[in-house]
């Protein structure tokens, strides 16, 4: 029995992260058929097909679904289309993995989650950082340690997006994932950036978690380096991690690094192996493999749409330049 995968959207993220992950997954699992990919841009769809080993390419997703009858679909489309296409897949009872954000706001996320529940269709949101090997290692080291304070630095170069919140959601979600509990409250401050458009800002989140820990997340879209760094401070101990963000043309931190320190001494220090491919160290392989493995085994993926709800709500506050988020009880 073969397992047929179709993919919709063959743009930047599909080419850099998901395409190489699909190819590797198919190489490692002989029953996997990369049946077809689709993009409204025919040349882009065809390039993606030939580069990553899909059998056919389409420009119309409905026709692709009708012809191919996939066992699972991956959605890597513009954020404005994610809700609509997710609901279309769920209505057809096709298991779906969707790029973040899982909705632009609470209402969209709940509509998708309700449809998934009504149709009993498995789904997963592709928050790739949750599947980065270094973040998994962080989660493992964090077990049994009490966090007092979380810090996350999220730096980009020349990002002038009108809506940077759909990128900020990564930092919000990663801290929540590592904290292992939800936010109780977030206070936001927005600082203008000199010589940038008036919608571009450094954004600071001062957070309180339900377990009593505090947190500070800094988003700086126009600084000197592309980097993400996360630290958990406990009492006289710390876990600190540099994410393996490989910018091809921009200065970046380079390989990922994690360290555990206690009472002023470094107890453990690890670096992302040099041979690890970028799409593996960046979590794209892990998220896709976890989803497809789970569907093939007849299970329910861990990180479903609903698991992203609070991250969506907090990102939506940034979009609307809110000063305060308080969790709904």
> Cα torsion for 16, 21, 24, 26, to the nearest 10°?
-130
Question: Cis before residue 101, ω within 30 degrees of 0?
Answer: yes
- For residue 275, the number of C-alpha atoms closer than 13 Å in the C-beta half-sphere is 0
In angstroms, give the least distance from the CB of 49 to ligand NAD.
13
The 148-187 site mask, x for binding ligand NAD (CB under 6 A), equals ------------------x---------------------
82 counts as binding ligand NAD under rule CB under 6 A: yes
43 counts as binding ligand NAD under rule CB under 6 A: no
User: What 3-state DSSP class applies to 159?
Assistant: coil
The length of the chain is: 329
Q: How far is CA 139 from CA 9, 144, 172, 260, in A?
A: 31, 10, 16, 12
Point out which span in 6-14, 65-73, 102-110, 183-191 binds ligand NAD (CB under 6 A).
6-14
62 counts as binding ligand NAD under rule CB under 6 A: no
Helix ranges (DSSP H) in 100-159: 106-119, 133-142
Which is nearer to ligand NAD, 10 or 280 (by Cβ)?
10
Distance CA 59, CA 47 (A): 12
Point out which span in 35-43, 179-187, 189-197, 216-224 binds ligand NAD (CB under 6 A).
35-43
In angstroms, give the least distance from the CB of 153 to ligand NAD.
16
Return the residue of 51, 79, 92, 184 that touches ligand NAD, per CB under 6 A. Answer: 79
Evaluate whether 233 touches 148 at the Cβ level (below 8 Å).
yes
Point out which span in 12-20, 222-230, 271-279, 313-321 binds ligand NAD (CB under 6 A).
12-20
In angstroms, give the least distance from the CB of 143 to ligand NAD.
26
Evaluate whether 316 touches 105 at the Cβ level (below 8 Å).
yes
Residue carrying structure tokens 């996997």: 32
Which is nearer to ligand NAD, 141 or 175 (by Cβ)?
175
**How buried is 224 (Cβ within 10 angstroms: 0-12 exposed, 13-18 middle, 19+ buried)?**
exposed
In angstroms, give the least distance from the CB of 40 to ligand NAD.
5
40 counts as binding ligand NAD under rule CB under 6 A: yes
Q: What are phi and psi of 185, to 5 degrees?
A: -155, 145
In angstroms, give the least distance from the CB of 116 to ligand NAD.
18
Residues forming a β-bridge with 186: 207, 325
What the block records as the tokens of 81 is: 């289309």
Return the residue of 51, 56, 81, 247 that touches ligand NAD, per CB under 6 A. Answer: 81
Which position's Cβ is nearest ligand NAD? 11
Where does this chain bind ligand NAD (CB under 6 A)?
8-14, 38-41, 44, 61, 76-79, 81-82, 99-100, 128, 166
């Amino acid at each position: 029995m073969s397992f047929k995968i179709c993919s919709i959207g063959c743009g930047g993220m599909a080419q850099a992260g998901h395409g190489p992950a699909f190819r590797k997954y198919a190489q490692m699992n002989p029953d996997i058929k990369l049946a077809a990919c689709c993009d409204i841009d025919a040349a882009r769809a065809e390039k993606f097909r030939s580069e990553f080993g899909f059998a056919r390419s389409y420009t119309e997703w409905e026709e692709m679904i009708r012809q191919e009858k996939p066992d699972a679909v991956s959605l890597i489309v513009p954020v404005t289309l994610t809700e609509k296409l997710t609901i279309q897949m769920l209505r057809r009872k096709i298991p779906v993995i969707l790029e973040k954000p899982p909705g632009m706001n609470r209402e969209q996320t709940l509509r998708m989650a309700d449809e998934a529940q009504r149709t009993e269709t498995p789904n997963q949101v592709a928050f790739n950082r949750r599947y980065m090997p270094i973040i998994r290692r962080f989660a493992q080291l964090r077990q049994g340690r009490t966090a007092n304070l979380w810090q996350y630095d999220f730096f980009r170069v020349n990002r002038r997006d009108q809506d940077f919140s759909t990128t900020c959601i990564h930092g919000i979600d990663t801290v929540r994932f590592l904290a292992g509990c939800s936010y109780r409250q977030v206070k936001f401050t927005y600082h203008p950036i000199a010589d940038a458009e008036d919608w571009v800002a450094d954004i600071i989140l001062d957070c309180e978690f339900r377990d009593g820990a505090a947190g500070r997340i800094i988003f700086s879209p126009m600084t000197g380096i592309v980097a993400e760094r996360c630290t958990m401070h406990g009492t006289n101990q710390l876990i600190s991690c540099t994410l393996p963000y490989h910018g091809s043309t921009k200065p970046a931190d380079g390989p990922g690094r994690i360290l555990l320190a206690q009472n002023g001494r470094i107890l453990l220090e690890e670096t992302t192996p040099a041979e690890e491919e970028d799409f593996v160290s960046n979590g794209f392989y892990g998220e896709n493999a976890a989803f497809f493995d789970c569907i093939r085994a007849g299970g329910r993926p861990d990180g479903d749409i609903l698991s992203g709800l609070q991250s969506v709500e907090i990102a939506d506050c940034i979009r609307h330049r809110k000063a305060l988020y308080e969790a709904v009880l």
